[in-house]
Structure 1
Amino acid sequence: MPTADAKPRLHLPRPLLLLLIPFLSLLLLYSYSSSPPPPAAVDVAVPLSPTPPSPHIRMRRAGFRSYEDYLRHQLNKTLDPRLRRVWATRDWHRKVDAFARAFAALRDDGQLLSNASRALCVGARLGQEVAALRLVGVRDAVGIDLAPAPPLVVKGDFHAQPFANDTFDFEFSNVFDHALYPDRFVAEIERTLRPGGVAVLHVAVHRRGDKYSANDLLDVQGLVGLFRRSEVVRISKVDAFGLDTEVILRKKRSSP
């Protein structure tokens, strides 16, 4: 029985908490200066070294003199105050709703995603994908991006994920075109996925990306071929914010 001087606790319904998240994220953008922080804020060291050439992927790294240049370029978009306002307000509910429908379909499949899955969204910006996963019942979901966006997104470089091997049951990303090293991007997904875990990627094929894209995917086999430790579950067409192809893969339970 509570004592007479016990203070009442405020319990907000989970949907209301998700509605408040974009406004919290909007406040966070004012904690950043108008110019991006130095790339050293990302606690990884990735050398500027060539990626094995592929006839299916066109690289666009000519303008980067160093990996730090690449990080600065990506952070210009990630920390742009105007874009962050759009992501946190006008785009928020539209994207959360669309991602929630996509994740609910994967969950309803019965073998790709479940409410018990531990999930990661790679390159999640403010975390609409993470909010969508939690909305459909996947409570153990988090995102990574170069700039954190609490409470949904932690700081992390997708070329060197800050997680141990075999951590996640499910990983989602729609930023493959931003990878300076597509092979490392994929290798990190496979490293942090548990055996039997599922990776879902939304990509654009035969379409040139924006000025922040580091590669153009000319054929979906350019992506599939990088997954050395996984098998294709399904490749299908989607209409996902300018991306047209969904690739679903499952990490093999044992190495060959």
Structure 2
Amino acid sequence: MKTMQARPYVPKIFTLFLLLSALFFLFFSLQPHSQFFTKPPPGNQLSGEPDLRIRPGYSSYQAYIQRQLNKTLNPKLRKVWTTRDWERKIRVFATFFEELKQKQLLFNSSKALCIGARVGQEVEALRRVGVSDSVGIDLVPYPPLVVRGDFHHQPFDGDTFDFEFSNVFDHALYPKKFVGEIERTLKPGGVCVLHVALSRRADKFSANDLYSIGPLKALFRRSELVHVRRVDGFGLDTEVIFRKKKKI
């Protein structure tokens, strides 16, 4: 009689991992954000700029949101963001913010927003350089640094922030709404700082490609261009700063 050998545990462990991963994504897909982000924001969504190209392939706004969530909820990426990359990114962002303070574009008293903050390294960096009234928004919250929000429709009142920072302009499916929400929520005289990629194309989760700062100058209709410089910001190469015009 042949002796039956015990089956290896590896397939069982792999199956269990797949099941837990599926439950994890199902849990977040059933949260309020999946019901809230179902329709595209109103208004003209075409960029109208030859140097700003919207990537095709989205069958609906919900399909776009789900693609962004696939990156934001990736367990491996979130572990990297909160462990290996945590202090490294905070140090780099803190250097950027200290330079902005030296240029008097950011102050300890500023009420600041970081758009597309994921796990909030930018927010933590702001707080470490003395800007304590800071918060981030992303599709998935990361308390206490990041609250849930769609950057196409910020969950804040108008004229709320003195300072807004984002390095996810390339993830905006509707750049006009992205910029419009920044200008709506910035106080008159408030400053917006964008880190963008001009000399290289962004990752596969990007929704647009930017080839010059011309489209940004056209989109920021209620603001003045303050400063442009080259930077090395995690794959992004250009810093563009706008100041919202004061009301007359």
Whether 1:74 aligns to 2:68 is yes
- In structure 2, the partner of 1:106 is 100
- Please identify the structure whose Cα radius of gyration is greater: 2
Task: Percent identity, please.
Answer: 59
**Aligned equivalents of 1:34, 1:115: Cα separation in 2:** 38
* Residue in structure 2 matched with residue 12 of structure 1 by the alignment: none
- Name 2:51's counterpart in structure 1: 56
Residue aligned with 2:195, SS: strand
Runs of 4 or more above 6 Å deviation: none
Q: What is the TM-score when the length of structure 2 is the normalising length? A: 0.86
Gap regions ≥5 residues in structure 2: 1-20
1:10 aligns to what?
Answer: none
Inter-partner Cα distance in structure 2 for 1:123 and 1:203: 13
Match of 1:92 among 86, 108, 128: 86
2:29 to 21, 24, 37: 37
Whether contact under 8 Å (1:56, 1:218) holds in the other structure is yes
Q: What is the rounded CA distance, in whole Å, between the counterparts of 1:40 and 1:51 in structure 2?
A: 28
How many angstroms does 1:46 deviate by?
Answer: 2.5
Corresponding residue of 1:199: 192
Q: Distance in 1 between matches of 2:218 and 2:86?
A: 33
- Aligned pairs, how many? 223
User: What is the DSSP-based 3-state SS (H/G/I as helix, E as strand, rest coil) of the residue aligned with 1:233?
Assistant: strand
Is the CA contact 2:41–2:153 (under 8 Å) kept in the aligned structure 1?
Answer: no
* 1:181 is aligned to 2:165: no
**Deviation sequence 1:140-167 (CA, Å, 0-9, x none):** 0000000000010000000000000000
Partner of residue 236, structure 1: 229
CA contact (8 A) 2:114 2:137 kept: yes
TM-score (norm 1): 0.83
Aligned-partner SS, 2:156: coil
Q: Tell me by how many angstroms 1:39 deviates.
A: 7.9
Q: Residue type of the partner of 1:89?
A: T
